[in-house]
């Protein structure tokens, strides 16, 4: 097991000395814990902290964690599914005590990068890898701290530049514009370099994701059998190398351009500042001691300008991520299913689609338009079409995994939009398969 403090015990100590902050556990390996005992411990802690607990649960891929408690990894997924169903029931009933501070118990986060396929885990909020679970309030606080830090850095840089200008201006009014003149080319170069990096980020993010996908297919053990079966090794490796080469080429190109900008900006700043300073010394406009002070001030101002541009760039990037996060939340909210009002009790006899249309998010063109058909139990229906013609999409609409943008899908007169998705998939023995007929 990892050499860390037991999360529930640690948060119990934190609950005793805090009043407002939310408490989020590190990822608990749920399958190695007794379900009823875990429910009681979490309910007790939630009550002690006044409903501030968020419970993060995961599977763990380390056999050592299970060996340490005399268990095997086999069946851990099924056990985890059972626990996810049982915990809310235990918290809502009277089988354990005390009752949690909130009805239904503390919020759950399903943590880890594992592929989540079970219906028991669908719908739970998910966190990242170990230790990265964050509640929504904690995430907002984290982003706020980052913005505050960058704003503070920006203000510090502005004050440093102003202090350098004022300091030399007090000694000689001629030196104040000289410091500004020396800093402007550096500021221009730093800003252009930051814009180049941002443009590269937007340009390469899709390529990096594709490289991650091909890298996972090549290196992950779970994919090995399928990759060999389809003899896709050379294709995947060639694609991975192609994408990596394009990303490396872009990085080198941006790095060279940025180095040129920094060199030119520094040279122009030094040339402008020191040339004017040399002329003033040659003509007797300032004393030698004041010239030395001006050199120190110009260096300090140039450094402060660079720090300021860096802080502006970081603030801009944070703003992009925040807006993307907000956009994702709004998009998820618009596509969220309404609470189910019906429950299927058996296999449907008739499935009817009436003027069904479906469009994937972010696409202008619909994947399916105006589909109407009726399917009866016992019929064999083939969905035949080219790749990308919408066969899989239609199958998911029929089974209730997707909801139509327009039209209705009904099982024995009950719309799939009024039924919980796991109820559709688990309550029917209908088999949906699609075959591709390409040209």
Do 355 and 372 touch, CB atoms closer than 8 A? Answer: yes
Kindly list the domain boundaries of the chain, sorted by start residue.
Answer: 7-134, 140-333, 350-436
Write down the pLDDT at residue 116.
44
Residue with tokens 């408490």: 23
Looking at residue 124, what is its pLDDT?
52
pLDDT band at 188 (very low <50, low <70, confident <90, very high): confident
Tell me which fold the domain 350-436 belongs to.
Answer: Rossmann fold (3.40.50)
Average pLDDT over residues 344-365: 85
β-sheet bridge partners, residue 24 = 54
DSSP conformational letter for 268: H
Alpha carbon distances (Å) from 47 to 9, 43, 240: 14, 6, 51
pLDDT above 70: percentage of residues in the chain: 84
**C-beta of residue 96 within 8 angstroms of C-beta of residue 43:** yes
CATH number of 140-333: 1.20.1560.10
Q: Which CATH number fits domain 7-134: 3.40.50.920, 3.90.1150.10, 3.30.70.250, 3.20.20.30?
A: 3.20.20.30
Mean pLDDT of the 294-300 span? 76
Q: Which of 17-21, 176-180, 255-259, 379-383 has the lowest mean pLDDT?
A: 176-180
Segment among 14-28, 74-88, 134-148, 175-189 with least mean pLDDT: 134-148
pLDDT at residue 132 is higher than 80: no
Question: Which of 180-218 are b and which e, b meaning 16 or more Cβ less than 10 Å from the residue's Cβ?
Answer: bbbbbbbbbbbbbbbebeeebeeebeeeeebbeebeebb
Q: In the sheet where 406-411 sits, what is the strand order?
A: 368-376, 350-358, 406-411, 414-415
193 pLDDT exceeds 70?
yes
């Amino acid at each position: 097991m990892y050499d860390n403090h037991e999360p529930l015990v640690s948060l119990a100590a934190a609950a005793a000395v805090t009043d407002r902050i939310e408490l989020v556990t590190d990822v608990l390996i749920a399958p190695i814990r007794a379900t009823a005992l875990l429910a009681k411990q979490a309910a007790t802690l939630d009550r002690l902290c006044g409903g501030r607990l968020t419970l993060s649960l995961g599977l763990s891929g380390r056999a050592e964690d299970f060996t340490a408690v005399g268990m095997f990894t086999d069946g851990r997924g099924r056990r985890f599914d059972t626990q996810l169903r049982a915990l809310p029931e235990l918290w809502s009933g009277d089988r354990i005590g005390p009752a949690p501070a909130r009805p239904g118990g503390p919020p759950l986060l399903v943590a880890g990068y594992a592929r989540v396929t079970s219906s028991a885990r669908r719908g739970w909020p998910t966190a990242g890898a170990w230790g990265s679970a964050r509640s929504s309030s904690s995430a907002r606080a984290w982003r706020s701290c980052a913005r505050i830090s960058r704003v503070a850095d920006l203000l510090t840089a502005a004050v440093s530049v102003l202090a350098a200008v004022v300091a030399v201006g007090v000694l000689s009014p001629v030196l104040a514009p000289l410091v500004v003149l020396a800093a402007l080319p550096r500021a221009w170069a730093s800003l252009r370099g930051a814009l180049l990096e941002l443009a590269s980020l937007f340009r390469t993010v899709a390529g990096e994701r594709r490289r991650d996908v091909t890298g996972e297919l090549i290196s992950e053990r779970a994919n090995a059998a399928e990759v060999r079966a389809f003899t896709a090794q050379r294709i995947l490796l060639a694609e991975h190398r192609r994408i990596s080469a394009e990303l490396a080429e872009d990085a080198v190109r941006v790095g060279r351009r940025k180095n040129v900008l920094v060199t030119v900006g520094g040279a122009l700043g030094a040339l402008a500042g020191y040339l004017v300073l040399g002329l003033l010394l040659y003509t007797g406009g300032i004393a030698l001691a004041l010239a030395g002070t001006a050199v120190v001030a110009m260096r300090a101002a140039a450094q402060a300008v660079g720090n300021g541009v860096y802080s502006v760039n970081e603030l801009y990037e944070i703003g992009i991520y925040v807006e993307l996060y907000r956009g994702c939340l709004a998009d998820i909210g618009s596509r969220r299913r309404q609470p189910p009002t019906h429950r299927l009790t058996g296999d449907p006899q008739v499935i009817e689609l009436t003027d069904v249309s479906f469009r994937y998010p972010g696409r202008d063109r619909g994947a399916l338009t105006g589909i109407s058909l009726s399917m009866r139990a016992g019929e064999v229906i083939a969905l035949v079409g080219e790749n990308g013609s919408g066969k899989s999409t239609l199958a998911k609409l029929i089974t209730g995994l997707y909801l139509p943008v327009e039209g209705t899908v009904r099982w024995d007169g009950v719309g799939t939009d009024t039924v919980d998705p796991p109820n559709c998939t688990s309550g029917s023995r209908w088999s949906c398969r699609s075959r591709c007929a390409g040209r």
